[in-house]
Every structure is written in C-alpha cells, then in structure tokens.
Structure 1
Amino acid sequence: MSTTIFWFRNDLRLHDQPALEAALRHGADHLLPVVCLPPAGATSPWDCERVGPHRRAFLADTVQDLGERLAALGSRLFVCDAAPTVALPLLARAVAADTVFCEAIAAPEEESQVAQLRSAGLRIETVWHSSLLAPQALPWPVDRLPGVFTAFRHAVERAGLLPASPLPVPARLPSPPDLPEALLRAVGAAAALPGAEVPMAERTGGADPRSSFPYAVPAFRGGETAALAHLSQYLARKLPHTYKAARDGLAGVDYSSKFSPWLASGALSPRRVLAALKAFEQAHGANEGSYWLWFELLWRDYFRLLHLQHGAALYRARGLAAAPPAPHNAQGFDHWRQGRTGEPLVDAAMRELAATGYLSNRLRQVAASYLIHELQGDWRAGAAWFESQLVDYDVYSNQANWLYIAGRGTDPRGGRRFNPAKQALDHDADGRYRQMWGAA
C-alpha cells in the first residue's frame, strides 16, 4: 500500500488547492496530511518572538478548522510540534512514502526547509499557488519583472490577464495510514491532534472590544470556514462598492475588506476572492471601489513575484539599494514597539498592534515610516516586530512593504516618509482613535 504525504504550509485550506490536487493525481493508496506548528519561544535577532500570542491563537483556530474539514472528507490532519525537517523524514520512513507534496514558498527560510528535506533523501514536489496569476502566464519571465508596481499593473491589464478558475474542494480524500503512538510522540503529534479548543486566555487580544479584527469572535476566527463565510457576507452587504472610500479608516471591522488574515494563512484563496468579486460585479455593477480590491490583490501578487525575481537579496540590510544601512537605534526601537515614542498617533498604533494583533494599512505605513525615518531604526527590526504581532503576517508582503517604506525595495520615490501630525489631521481629526488607545 503506497502513501503520499501532503505538507500544509501557508495554504491551510481545501478549496482551490493545486498542490493537493497534484498529490491526489499521484495516485497513492493513502494520503498523510501534515502541518508543522512553528516552534514556541523562537526569537528573531531583534529579540522579537517569531510567532506572538495573537498569531499563535489565530493559527491554532485555523489548524483546528482544517482538521475538522479533513475529517469530513474521511481524512485526518497530523499536527506536529516538531520542525518539518525532523517530522517529515520520520513520517516518510515510517509509512514508506516516496513523495511529499507542498506549496512552493519563495522566501529564504522556507526554501531552506525544502532544501534540507531533499538533502535528507526525500522527494519534494512543490507547487506554486499563492498568487492570483501564475508566474508562467505573465507577459515576461519573472527575472524581467517591471521595476515598479504601476508598470506591472498596466502590463497585466493591457494583456487582459486573469487567473484560472479556482478549484473545488475534493469530494473525498484517501484515508491516512495508521501511525504508531511512538511515532506520533516523536514528531510531537500525540497531544496536538485536532479537537482541542484553544484556551480563551490565548485569545484575549481577539476579544478586545476595540479590535478591528476580533479573532476570538466566531465570524473572525481562523480557518477556511470563517474565511468563506466572511467573503460571502462582505459581498452580500455590497461592501466592495465602498472599499476605496473606506479603506483608509483606522478603527472598525468594516473599513477594509479584512481578507488579509485568511489570505495570509492560506485559509482563503485569492483566486476564490477574485472569482466571487467578478460575480458580484456582474450582478451589481463594477465601480472604483470594486476595482480597488483587484488593485490590492495585484499588489499582493507583485510582492510574491519580487521574491521570485530577487530572492534572498530582499533580506539583506541594504535590500535592493546600493547605500549601506544606517546604524540601528535600539532604544528608539524599544520605545516604538512599546508605544512610548511620544508621538501620539504612532503610540496609539503600536498599542493597538500589541493589544489586538491587527493594525490598519494606513497606520502600518505611518508607524513604519516613523521607526525608519524619525528614529533611524533598522527596517528589519520593524519587520520582525510585525512578524511577531500581526495575525495577517505574510512573509512576502511584510518584507516588501518594509523595504518599500525604507526606500530599499522598488519604490520609484526612494522611500515613503509620512508626517504623523498631518496623518492625524487627515485621518483622526477628532482624536478619537488616539483617545481610544490612551495616546491622546
């Protein structure tokens, strides 16, 4: 009896799953679905916990939901505490699996994991499926990606490129093989199987009444079930028509689409979002607001394609720029992440982020600009703090956005500097947001 392993990475869903479809085409008798949780307590060089409590709680709910959806198809999710470089070779040897299928992720750490597994003798089949547009469908190879987003967008739209239709959920999955209890203990899975609720103590930020993404509330929980329900209600309320006008809001659950946490964990496919948006436009008409959702999804694609083009260069201190980085202001960074800079709008933003794991796009830009341009902080330290805190942390978008603000990415202006006083006047004229977070 043959077995194929499917390794869930940042694609924690069953709908629109080309990597899973490839695994099923492999034709094994058994399918072993595996997810490896990030190690608890791991820190970055900037003394930031790699996965803070907000991300960990949202991920736990996402994994639990995935396990339930797999069980409904006759399968079972094996949730491992061990690193994939430890767990997958042990599992493959135990079930005589010849192949591991997984998502391709074009970031250095994630590519290193795949390289280590191949060095350990595993056959790893990676499938790229995190973007709307397939890289091979672009008008040029990725190494000739336009150097600025606007040129990329115009080329895509002139060519009339649209993604393939999203794939349906498989009707049924092959049963998993039997695994001995000793093996489950060895990969840290014996006590981490689906069904255990995440303690409410770990969801305290998600229950904060001020949160713009209250992930402890069922409608905002991690996982494919909540993601698809959210997409449906967002369209039913015709919110795409007001997206552009409302997207620069600072507080509230409706000022932006709030798709990003589910997109980041892979619980929601961007192709599913766009297909639903196109159906909405056919039924209710398109306008600038609905177009702007496509615009933002294209930005998301562009950041992924930048990783395919530049790879590890995006993680250098100087990024893509020639100028060397300035010395890091460690004390300023500590004050910044604690919300104690003395700049009210920035402090309010950082307090919201720490308390809830979420922050509006406008305030992410303002806070990043302040750390880089006013406090002379290293952009990589800011990126590490956002990695720790954000429930919608996405390795591609986080890295590229910080490079963009720092002027070390592809911004034609050489970086973005936001005046916090002007931003407060434009977006929080009555001071309500700053007062909400005790920074007025």
Structure 2
Amino acid sequence: MKFENSLEFAQNCDTNDRLKKFRNQFYFPKTNLGDNKIYLCGNSLGLQPKSTSDYIQQELNDWSDYGVDGHTDAKNPWMPYHEFLSKPMANIVGAKESEVIIMNTLSVNLHLMMVSFYQPTSKRHKILIEADAFPSDLYAVESQLKYHDYDPKDALILWKPREDQYYDIEDFNQIIQNHGDEIALVLIGNTNYYTGQHFDMKYITDSCHQNDIKIGFDLAHGVGNIQPHLHDLGVDFAVWCTYKYLNSGPGSLGGCFVHEKHHTKDLHRFTGWWGHDKSTRFNMRQDFKPIPTAEAWQLSNPPILSMAAIRASLDIFQQAGFDNVVKKSKDLTGFLEYLLLELNDDNLKLITPKKPNERGCQLSIQFLDADKSLFDKLTQAGVVADWREPQVIRVAPAPLYNSFEDVYQFVQILKHIRYAG
C-alpha cells in the first residue's frame, strides 16, 4: 500500500476496509465530551465486544434454569464447552484442533508445559530465554531451575539484544553453537513485549530441534495479529493469554498448544481429572488415562463464564477471517510508521523493526529528549496507549476495531503536543 499523509487518505482507506463493520461491534472508552477515545492499547487489554454480555447472559440464564443439569442440557452444554473454542483458536495459531486447549492462565500454563518439556539432566539442563522477556516468563523459568536445584546464575542463558535493541539471529546461533549440548529448553516470546520485534520462529524451531532442544513460545503479544503456524513449524509447545488482541476481558483464561507428536508420549505432567479419558472420567476410581490430545493437560473443569467471553470474541474473528486481520494489521502499522517518520524528528526513534514480517500490531516509540510527561499529555488528550520504562510508548492499532483515521488522528495529536505545545 502506498501511503499519503492526509485525513482524506485515511478516510478512504476506512471506506474500502473489508473489516470496517467490526469496529461498531466493540465498546470504546469515552472522553469527558462523550467522544470515543483513540484506543491503541490492544497489546495490554482488548476492547469489549458488544456481544460479550449476551454470550455470558446465556450461560447465566441456563445456570438459573437448569442448575447442575446445565452441564448437559444448556443451550451450549458446559461439559464440552471448551471444545467450542478449539477450532477457532486453532485457526488463529495455525494448529490442529486437537493441539489447542483453552485453560488456566498464561503463567500457569507455562509452568505446566515446563513440567512436561523441561526435563534436565546433569549435562543438559540449561534454559535459553531472551534477555528482555516479559517478567513473568523470566520468573517462571528461574523458579523451574531452582525447583530442579539449579542456580539461575549458571543455568539460565540470556539471548541479549544489540545496541539498537533488536535481537539478531546470529547471536542466537552463536549461543546454540557454544551451549547447544547443555541446553534442555528454549523459551522465546514470539513477539517481544517491549520492542514489538517478531522472531523468526521457523529458524529458531529448526535450530533447536537439530540440536535436540525442546522449543516453546510465549505468543502473548503476537496471538491475534500474527499467524505463527505452530503445527507446520513443529513447535513443541506454546502458551498465550486471550485478553490482549483476543478481547476476552481482564484476567481471562489462557491458551495452550501441544504438538500432536507429543500427545501419546509418556511425558511427565501435573494431572487433574479434566485431563482424564472422557468416557470414564466420572467413574472416579480409575487410574489416570490421559486424553490423547492437548486436553490431557487440563486440570479442572473450565470456568464457563470466562469461556463465554472468549467465545464472543473468537466468533468475531471467524466472521472477519484471520487472513484479513493479519493484512490489515500490517497496513495499519505501516501507515502509523509512515506518519511518524513524516514528522522528521531526529529525537524520534522507532525501536520496532521496519520489516512487516518482523513485527505485529505494535510499534514502540522513543523520544530521546522526552519523558513520561509526553505520554501523560497524550492520555489527557484522549489517547489510550501504553508506557513502558525506560522511555517507550507502545502503540498497537488492533485491526478488528481500529481505523486508519484513528492512526492519523493519533499522530496529529502527538504532533500538536510535541511541536505546538
């Protein structure tokens, strides 16, 4: 797409946007004057679909009408409710339906996956993670190492970014060459939360498997805007949350992928009754027999009200078509990048890669001569973005509900605050 720096161009893009109808299916926070705020914070919490309350109300009604019999007699029976989410979720992460399960929250799922896929030996016990991973990932990895009586100072290997804050695959290669026979697990956020850099998942996966290393990805900042093709890449496992680009509500459930090649292996795992063979689950006195899918990692029967909110959003994704979502994501961030560079500000630095296939919805902006007061002024002007220390404003136009005019107006507000005072 060839961009132009004008409101007319942005409005023409919105007129021709095949996803434009979905914008009106979401609630936007309002300014004091009653106008929509410019919401560019889907990387932290997605907006609420207007249909969410209807989906939840249906389950409340069935709970009221049926009580415990809602597990089998509800309009959407609760017993298999998680199965309603598997196919649409699998489409978004590039997996088979049997490889995906919605359960728990991201950090819980990460720990459960490491029980199965981090199996250290005296020689091969180290874990490789990107140095600036999201803190909960780092905490989880460090605690797993300690649980196995390894000191993170010795057993944790950090893939560090270069001076431009990008991670270079050659540095990853060097680590694998130097320590490949010591590493048991590589855990990478497929999209770095701070810079928005999206990593070459195929290269990393292939490199790990060639060196007999298990590979897992945290998709939290990529799911819903990048197609990771988890099955085709042969990734061992992946985890993600659903409250960012998947719009499921604050603190909602997470998702988990386990490649089918592991489904029937005798893996270590923490188990619960909801992962047991469905045909004998309620016999209660059977030895644990895992379901031969990703469902085997379930612990408890699922929280239906939270799943109803996820279902509301996933149904919108199905209607929109995920290929359309990915295309618009690239167009929106491309337009945002173009407008920011048009400012010709020597103190403005985009720390997100320029290549569209190396980033998702998010652009991370630094003003080398500014502090958080600039972000605070944007907030006062009706822009909802995200501040991360040190000195970064994260802006994430989400393709289901953000428009090209949102992007244009954001840059106009930024321009006015920065240059007109």
Structure scoring higher RCO (CA < 8 A, sep ≥ 6) equals 2
Q: Mark yes or no: TM-score above 0.5.
A: no
Q: What TM-score do the two structures reach when normalised by structure 1?
A: 0.30
